[in-house]
Structure 1
Amino acid sequence: MGHTCRGTINLATATITVDDACNFVISNGGAQTYHLKASCEVERQRWITALELAKAKAARMQAESDDSGDDFSPSSPPNSEVQSALRTLGSKVEDLSTCNDLISKHGSALQRSLSELDSLRLTGEAGDKIRQVTERATLFRITSNAMINACRDFLALAQAHSKRWQKALQAERDQRVRLEDTLEQLAKQHNHLERAFRGAAQANASPDSKGAAGPGKGEASDEDDDNEFFDAMEEAPEFITVPADPQFHKSVAGRESPSQELLPLRKRRTRIPDKPNYSLNLWSIMKNCIGKELSKIPMPVNFNEPISMLQRLSEDLEYHELLDKAAKCHSSLEQMCYVAAFSVSSYSTTVHRTGKPFNPLLGETYELDRRRESGYRSLCEQVSHHPPAAAHHAISDRGWTLRQEITVASKFRGKYLSIMPLGTIHAIFEKSNNHYTWKKVTTTVHNIIVGKLWIDQSGEIDVVNHTTGDRCHLKFAPYSYFSRDVARKVTGVVMDKDGKAHYVLSGTWDEKMEFSRVMQSSRGGENGAEGKQKTVYQTLKAREVWRKNPQPDGAESMYFFTSLALTLNESEDGVAPTDSRRRPDQRLMEEGRWDEANAEKQRLEEKQRSARREREREAATAPHDNYQALWFERCEDRITGEQVHIYKGGYWENKERGSWDGCPDIF
């Protein structure tokens, strides 16, 4: 803001006006004016909202010298700041006046002494020197008097303008409050207009489009829903499937054996305490966090769910049976179908989970030992704090290993929150030595400002078998009110290394996935985007590969946890002292003692900061934090070339011995 170039407009003093449905004008009231046009009224409104938010932020940056962004406590009265400055100025002028009196006193004495010397009637060079000194002393007195008078004039001017400064500061603060109120009102009006538009669209819709499901998937849309709009044409299917010739059905027999379930040896809990009905306005906190990284915002536990990100990461194993089945497959292409379905299944737990997991402390761990019940055991560790990163390693007696390191990047955009998981997931199968990798898609939380929160998943996943070259391209379609497709749709095609399609997958990320074997493929059918012809796949009858487990009774009052999630924070003997189950603020929150949990959370975070400062002092010459993970070591991944943390062993052996001497004290 302090170094502008020609043609810029300072947002802090800019005027933003709406011209018509799609046009708007930004002006600084002088020579610079921008006339801008959006493609539609909705897009124009998004720009207006974003600019008003930026304008409020710019005004705040000018008015306040601190950059903490913490507006929870009321600002000090503006006149107190100005009066304090004036008092300081006044005291300085008084000091100058005292100095001036001393200068006058000593100057008069000096001139008297010079007059006495002059009365001696010295001649020659001595007399000239005395007259020169007398003139300089007189000039010095005149200059000092002028300086004092200038200081008095400055003080008088400051006092005269103090009321104007006070009014200007107060006007800026009032304007910020008005902007915040206007923005919230604007969001409500926008929401009302969208509901009215949806009502009109439903009234005029053709019979075959009335079955399109909204965020509630077929249920009546909540009156507070505030949905993002997408161009429905962009979300048209990339390919078309048609039934194959009946002769193929006779020659190909489906083979899918039901998974063998073992009865759990330990009875695990099926309930946690109900979520307390504490009200807290999310907007009051989030309005000052627009554009910031979510992991750097100190959020109270009121917006959390009582599990950590490490436990949430362990929930990826809820449908481990898909990997068990994949390990038994003789065909790598069929195995790819199960791996792809597994990559989709991890999102099914998120559909109603609007709570934020606890950010793990550096060095925090979480073990999930289900070896006796389901054949696998899993370990997560928080290996980095800036950026926050968690490493995960799971191994199964049924022939597979899963590992991943996930860093979550997130941005608050005003109406919605985008969460972008960064990192690669690896699945390795012992029997075939097939090594698969894929990444996660973007999660979006809608209706942050007003309305009922709802979650969408969108983006594309490429599941790659690095051993055979097989590939599955999955597409998660973003929700669109105008689309006739089922909501939360996922489609995919399994291809070999030569690009030949063998299986088509379809379904939804919150309910089920099916796969069909491709008998024939051809170009033709409807034209897709940009006039390209879509591929038509002739397929056998679809077979269900994955279906979501039913929710436990009373899930809506237990943070919409799944049956597995309900057991994740259950107290367990023998786990490491750094395990998430032992985290006190999380335990207090689960028990409904949220005030105590918030106080404990602040204590733990300050303890973590102190530990980091101590490490930095010990390694003052190091260019960065020298922290090293306990159970994972940093190295280059031979498949992806990424710098990752890979499990180095020792955790389960230490657990058997009950030896946790190397664990840091983080709680």
Structure 2
Amino acid sequence: MQNVNGRELEAGFLTAMEWSFCITTPARNQGEMAHTCRGTINLSTAHFDTEDSCSIVLTSGARTYHLKASSEVERQQWITALELAKAKAVCMMSSHSDDSGDEDDETASPADKSELHSTIKSLSLKLDDLSTCNDLIAKHGAALQRSLSELDSLKIPYESSEKLKAVNERATLFRITSNAMINACKDFLELAETHSRKWQRALQYEQEQRIHLEETIEQLAKQHNSLERAFRSAPGRATNPTKSFSEGSLLTPKGEDSEEDEDTEYFDAMEDSTSFITVITEAKEDRKAEGGTTGSVDWTSSDNVLDGASLVPKGPPKVKRRVRIPDKPNYSLNLWSIMKNCIGRELSKIPMPVNFNEPLSMLQRLTEDLEYHHLLDKAVHCTSSVEQMCLVAAFSVSSYSTTVHRIAKPFNPMLGETFELDRLDDMGLRSLCEQVSHHPPSAAHYVFSKHGWSLWQEITISSKFRGKYLSIMPLGAIHLEFQASGNHYVWRKSTSTVHNIIVGKLWIDQTGDIEIVNHKTKDRCQLKFLPYSYFSKEVARKVTGVVSDSQGKAHYVLSGSWDEQMECAKIVQSSPSSPGSDGKQKTVYQTLPAKLLWKKYPLPENAENMYYFSELALTLNEHEEGVAPTDSRLRPDQRLMEKGHWDEANTEKQRLEEKQRVSRRRRLEACSRGCGTEEEKEADVYVPLWFEKRLDPLTGETACMYKGGYWEAKERQDWHMCPNIF
């Protein structure tokens, strides 16, 4: 093959397993004799185009190669082979990068796990081959039909011979592509026949699991009835029948099933979903231990702190805040056309237009977690550390309530971008966020409350596009400290998943476990976010939990949903239940009536046209005087988008991103020492302005913590140290 300049090129592509296209040229000098390959193109992200009947243009990122074949037939042979290899490369890159573990949870049986995975991948590859060949056959068939139509209208013998030559060439191309598709079909059929028996075994295993599930539910119902009868007949009990309060999916602390959550394979959300059962009893009865672990506790007056915890007195604000923003324009854009070549990549590295954003930055979304700060204000007055833990747990869950309808992506902050929330007058707190790293994206956050608590965190967002869904994993610990008691709580965020990326309505789910630890008293709270399942009868978005002390004794049961409310119920007695059909025991908690801890505020009127922003979110991007020049409120592309000027916002976004790339190159060029990766060099060169890296003694991790100076600089209006990022 030759390039457009006539220079000899020897082009050859590696196998699809190696996912690259290798370009070789003759050596220009003796020093190049040892180099056999002058460049490679990753086939999974490459784009193929044609300039004329014999030219091929290969594009991958910023690199473009112009190749020329000796004839149109040879060019089409190369195009066909390259497109087949690209389909395999994309599929295999996707499967190799998908480490979410979802496939591991959906295997047919533990014995056939790895073999079935391999079979599924092989069948998927063959299906991709069939799909690609089908597209090529359709394209070549249409071209052949056009040539035949032109042949019918010819009259000149010379022109007839030329057209006949074109028909022959297209017929040859069609035969090549047809043969490729026939071979792919044969391979697919052979695989399907070979593994048909395994699919039958998988179906049989699923049927057995369903029978086992039905037996488990029946056993639970019998246990519930026996508990009711035992409670009615017990001496000194109230005559009113008890009723079931809730069923959690959390393992009991220090219980027999402590490793069950990791070892059990879940084929739907209902399998072994109840590891404890709670039963409501009366609050004023005299109770005695009746076997198992018991605790005679009273619904004391100190617990009044938990009463009405969700009711917040709201007086007239001293500063009038806005209550609406411009309605979201109706722009249509195909998400799949942008995301199809980005499978397996970090979301922060995918160039996305503002059409998929909301007019808030990630720093502002992080600040939005403080919407229910009143829970922490109430927790300050708790004299019991386990009661305080209940309110802290409710606060940790409340931060997810704003995500239920928020399917748009926040803006990725520029390196050095900040956001302040100075609301001492009405909220009693001051909050500061700074983007301290760009790759990977990381933000440091510090909050001070005049009511006697402070919160800090450094959150690194790790996100992967998986094809059908998007996984967002916030990494980093959240610290909360109460000054008066010295109670220091640490927890981490759960995983967020955006479903139906390709087809259907987008929706968000929160999954995983959260463990909150009080490092002073060693109290713990285990929270579990139940994943949504079509077959589950549980309430959607359900969260369950147990609060226990340093000895492992359970004091409170938590229950609710992360998008609506959380309740707590004090445990007065616990005992093991009778073994189920699987031989496992669960713990039965006898509790007092549940009390409301937190309830979500209703959304503002017309919220569906304002990105489903909450009352607080509507005020976060409101223009304020005196903020730092790096504040998110001053970001021009975000401001243009909020006003509805999306075309101008996209242009401005590209300008800002290019400006950031230039600044990054300058920093890396200034770093003359070190031979690590570019990310490591940048981490060594860039120094945050308001935060500094320190070793966290509780987690053993290095994290950015507030070093002070911001609010003093704001008071002086001295911002000379701030970088020019906008």
The two structures have a TM-score, normalised by structure 1, of 0.70
Which residue of the partner structure matches residue 517 of structure 1? 570
| Equivalences for residues 398-477 of structure 1 within 5 A | 398-477=451-530
Residue number among 707, 710, 713 corresponding to 1:654 in the alignment:
713
Q: Secondary structure at the match of 1:475?
A: strand
Which residue of the partner structure matches residue 630 of structure 1? 689
Distance 1:524 1:426, change over 3 A: same
| CA-CA distance at 1:244 after TM superposition | 2.9
Distance 1:554 1:525, change over 3 A: farther
Distance 1:527 1:614 in 2: 66
Task: Give yes or no for contact 1:244–1:520 (8 Å, CA) kept in 2.
Answer: no
Q: Secondary structure at the match of 1:394?
A: strand
Residue number among 637, 645, 661 corresponding to 1:609 in the alignment:
661
| CA-CA distance at 1:617 after TM superposition | 2.0
What do residues 306-340 of structure 1 show as CA deviations (whole Å, max 9, x unaligned)? Answer: 10000000001000011101111111000000000
Task: Give yes or no for contact 1:82–1:166 (8 Å, CA) kept in 2.
Answer: no
Q: Secondary structure at the match of 1:655?
A: helix
Distance 1:180 1:540, change over 3 A: farther
* Code of the aligned partner of 2:41: D
Task: Give yes or no for contact 2:415–2:437 (8 Å, CA) kept in 1.
Answer: yes
| CA-CA distance at 1:357 after TM superposition | 0.5
Task: Give yes or no for contact 2:48–2:57 (8 Å, CA) kept in 1.
Answer: no
Which residue of the partner structure matches residue 55 of structure 2? 80
Matched, 1:569 2:621: yes
What do residues 82-131 of structure 1 show as CA deviations (whole Å, max 9, x unaligned)? Answer: 99xxx999xxxxxxxxxxxxxxxxxxxxxxxxxxxxxxxxxxxxxxxxxx
Residue number among 633, 651, 669 corresponding to 1:581 in the alignment:
633
Matched, 1:597 2:649: yes
Task: Give yes or no for contact 1:492–1:506 (8 Å, CA) kept in 2.
Answer: yes
Distance 1:470 1:655, change over 3 A: same
Distance 1:230 1:606, change over 3 A: farther
Task: Give yes or no for contact 1:262–1:374 (8 Å, CA) kept in 2.
Answer: no
Q: How many equivalent pairs are there? A: 501
Residue number among 299, 319, 324 corresponding to 1:252 in the alignment:
299
Residue number among 559, 563, 585 corresponding to 1:506 in the alignment:
559
* Code of the aligned partner of 1:420: M
Which residue of the partner structure matches residue 201 of structure 2? none
Distance 1:77 1:532 in 2: 71
What do residues 493-516 of structure 1 show as CA deviations (whole Å, max 9, x unaligned)? Answer: 000001000000000000000000
Distance 2:472 2:74 in 1: 43
Distance 1:292 1:469 in 2: 39
| CA-CA distance at 1:525 after TM superposition | 4.8
Distance 1:431 1:59, change over 3 A: closer
| CA-CA distance at 1:619 after TM superposition | 2.2
Task: Give yes or no for contact 2:55–2:67 (8 Å, CA) kept in 1.
Answer: no
Residue number among 231, 235, 242 corresponding to 2:268 in the alignment:
231
| Equivalences for residues 78-117 of structure 1 within 5 A | 79-81=54-56
Distance 1:356 1:181 in 2: 35
| Equivalences for residues 163-182 of structure 1 within 5 A | 163-172=72-81, 179=128
| Equivalences for residues 11-160 of structure 1 within 5 A | 65-67=40-42, 76=51, 79-81=54-56, 159=70
**Structure 2 unaligned spans of 5+:** 1-12, 24-38, 59-65, 88-126, 135-209, 218-265, 288-297, 676-680
Which residue of the partner structure matches residue 540 of structure 1? 592
Q: Secondary structure at the match of 2:711?
A: helix
Task: Give yes or no for contact 1:405–1:644 (8 Å, CA) kept in 2.
Answer: yes
Distance 1:58 1:264 in 2: 63
Which residue of the partner structure matches residue 240 of structure 1? 277
* Code of the aligned partner of 2:79: Q
| CA-CA distance at 1:260 after TM superposition | 4.2
Q: Secondary structure at the match of 2:405?
A: coil
- Of stretches 441-450 and 59-68 in structure 1, the one that deviates more from structure 2 is 59-68
Matched, 1:478 2:387: no
Distance 1:344 1:525 in 2: 32
What do residues 268-299 of structure 1 show as CA deviations (whole Å, max 9, x unaligned)? Answer: 11111111111111111111011111111111
Distance 1:61 1:460, change over 3 A: farther
What do residues 409-439 of structure 1 show as CA deviations (whole Å, max 9, x unaligned)? Answer: 1111111111000000011001100000000
Distance 1:374 1:297 in 2: 37
Distance 1:334 1:174 in 2: 62
The two structures have a TM-score, normalised by structure 2, of 0.65
Distance 1:77 1:507, change over 3 A: farther
Q: Secondary structure at the match of 2:390?
A: helix
| Equivalences for residues 266-285 of structure 1 within 5 A | 266-285=319-338
* Code of the aligned partner of 2:697: R
| CA-CA distance at 1:613 after TM superposition | 1.3
Distance 1:463 1:82 in 2: 55
Bigger Rg, structure 1 or 2: 1
Task: Give yes or no for contact 1:333–1:470 (8 Å, CA) kept in 2.
Answer: yes
Task: Give yes or no for contact 2:269–2:531 (8 Å, CA) kept in 1.
Answer: no
Q: Secondary structure at the match of 1:374?
A: coil
Residue number among 412, 416, 420 corresponding to 1:359 in the alignment:
412
Task: Give yes or no for contact 2:473–2:494 (8 Å, CA) kept in 1.
Answer: yes
| CA-CA distance at 1:527 after TM superposition | 3.3
Which residue of the partner structure matches residue 435 of structure 2? 382
Distance 1:68 1:60, change over 3 A: closer
Residue number among 555, 560, 573 corresponding to 2:612 in the alignment:
560
Distance 1:232 1:617, change over 3 A: closer
Distance 1:173 1:466, change over 3 A: same
Residue number among 293, 304, 318 corresponding to 2:357 in the alignment:
304
* Code of the aligned partner of 2:78: L
* Code of the aligned partner of 1:289: C
Distance 1:607 1:366, change over 3 A: same
What do residues 599-652 of structure 1 show as CA deviations (whole Å, max 9, x unaligned)? Answer: 111111111111111112222114512100000011101211110000001101
Task: Give yes or no for contact 1:78–1:170 (8 Å, CA) kept in 2.
Answer: no
| Equivalences for residues 146-225 of structure 1 within 5 A | 159=70, 162-172=71-81, 179=128
What do residues 527-558 of structure 1 show as CA deviations (whole Å, max 9, x unaligned)? Answer: 39x64211110000000000000011111111
**Structure 1 unaligned spans of 5+:** 1-10, 14-54, 90-157, 186-200, 207-228
| CA-CA distance at 1:165 after TM superposition | 2.9
RMSD value, Cα: 3.1
Distance 1:450 1:62 in 2: 36
Task: Give yes or no for contact 1:471–1:494 (8 Å, CA) kept in 2.
Answer: yes
Which residue of the partner structure matches residue 25 of structure 1? none
Distance 1:404 1:172 in 2: 50
Task: Give yes or no for contact 1:488–1:508 (8 Å, CA) kept in 2.
Answer: yes
Task: Give yes or no for contact 2:541–2:563 (8 Å, CA) kept in 1.
Answer: yes
Distance 1:180 1:579, change over 3 A: farther
Task: Give yes or no for contact 1:249–1:540 (8 Å, CA) kept in 2.
Answer: no
What do residues 155-196 of structure 1 show as CA deviations (whole Å, max 9, x unaligned)? Answer: xxx85xx4553122232466579959959x9xxxxxxxxxxx
Distance 1:622 1:655, change over 3 A: farther
Distance 1:311 1:75 in 2: 45
| CA-CA distance at 1:69 after TM superposition | 6.5
* Code of the aligned partner of 1:241: T
Q: Secondary structure at the match of 1:366?
A: strand
Residue number among 340, 343, 349 corresponding to 2:393 in the alignment:
340
Task: Give yes or no for contact 2:21–2:43 (8 Å, CA) kept in 1.
Answer: no
Distance 1:582 1:405 in 2: 23
Q: Sequence identity, in percent?
A: 60
Distance 1:639 1:340, change over 3 A: same
| CA-CA distance at 1:264 after TM superposition | 1.4
